[in-house]
């Protein structure tokens, strides 16, 4: 009689045999589930089911559900930082660099909207769900990273004002408004399976353009 459970996937089935790819597989599916139903409404069993395995696998890698959430959040923030990094190194006046950062951020929000949706949920999951001291420490680090990310935009806005390429305006509020405008896409954007990079780029352009040029005609 053959085994009821088939042989486990070999690394070559998936992406090239990178170390830790089994864990990454879990993170990706968790991000998808958390996006679709929200963190609290998603059960660990559900994530396992959609991976075609059992809870045992997930709890082999993660001590608790919230720790899995933290990893998804961390990955989401990593993608955000990596996306704007090239734009920040651009040479140009203050507004030009800011424009490039906003475009990069918009594209990243669309491309990784699964993860970024979960990042947004992280704002609400504060102190309540992090019970152990270790978890509270992790939570603090994640909040810090979100603040640092926003800080990059605040700094660039301030630089552009000093630069005279930007009118004088409230740096903090403007940063939140601009980022919010792009990040709100987690609520309305869903990737089409056949969507090309060029199409996403075009959508990102349509998003950033009214922010840079404003609404006034001249």
Comparison of 13 and 213: residue with beta carbon closer to a second copy: 213
**Shortest Å distance, C-beta 5 to DNA:** 6
Residues of this chain, 35-64, that bind a second copy according to CB under 8 A: 37-41
DSSP helix/strand/coil, 126: coil
- Counting every residue written for the chain, the total comes to 218
**Shortest Å distance, C-beta 179 to a second copy:** 7
**Shortest Å distance, C-beta 34 to DNA:** 11
Task: Pick what 216 binds: DNA, a second copy, none; C-beta below 5 to 8 Å, kind-dependent.
Answer: a second copy
- Rounded to an integer, what distance in angstroms lies between the CA atom of residue 124 and that of residue 47? 21
The tally of CA atoms less than 13 A away on the side-chain side of residue 187 is 7
Residue of 136, 87, 80, 144 lying closest to 110 (CA atoms): 80
- Rounded to an integer, what distance in angstroms lies between the CA atom of residue 205 and that of residue 161? 23
Residue of 132, 175, 177, 182 lying closest to 157 (CA atoms): 175
The stretch among 47-55, 60-68, 135-143, 166-174 that binds a second copy (CB under 8 A) is: 166-174
For residue 177, state whether it binds a second copy (rule: CB under 8 A): yes
x/- contact string, 122-161, with a second copy (CB under 8 A)?
Answer: -xxx--xx------------------------------x-
- Rounded to an integer, what distance in angstroms lies between the CA atom of residue 213 and that of residue 192? 28
Interface residues with a second copy (CB under 8 A) are 37-41, 95, 98, 120, 123-125, 128-129, 160, 164-167, 169-170, 173-174, 176-185, 187-188, 203, 206-207, 209-217
């Amino acid at each position: 009689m053959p085994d009821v459970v088939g042989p486990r996937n070999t690394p070559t089935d998936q992406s090239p045999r990178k170390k830790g790819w089994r864990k990454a597989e879990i993170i990706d599916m968790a991000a998808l589930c958390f996006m679709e139903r929200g963190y609290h409404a998603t059960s660990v069993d559900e994530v396992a089911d959609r991976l075609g395995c059992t809870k045992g696998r997930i709890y082999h890698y993660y001590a608790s559900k919230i720790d899995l959430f933290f990893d998804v959040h961390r990955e989401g923030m990593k993608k955000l930082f990596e996306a704007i990094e090239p734009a920040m190194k651009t040479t140009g006046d203050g507004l030009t660099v800011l424009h490039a950062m906003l475009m990069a951020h918009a594209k990243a929000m669309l491309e990784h909207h699964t993860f970024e949706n979960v990042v947004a949920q992280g704002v609400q999951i504060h102190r309540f769900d992090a019970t152990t001291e270790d978890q509270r420490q992790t939570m603090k680090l994640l909040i810090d990273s979100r603040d640092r990310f926003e800080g990059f935009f605040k700094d660039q806005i301030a630089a552009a004002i000093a630069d005279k390429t930007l009118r004088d305006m409230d740096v903090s509020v403007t940063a939140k408004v601009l980022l919010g405008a792009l990040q709100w896409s987690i609520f309305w954007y869903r990737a089409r399976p056949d969507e090309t990079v060029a199409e996403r780029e075009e959508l990102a352009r349509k998003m950033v353009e009214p922010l840079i040029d404003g609404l006034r005609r001249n």
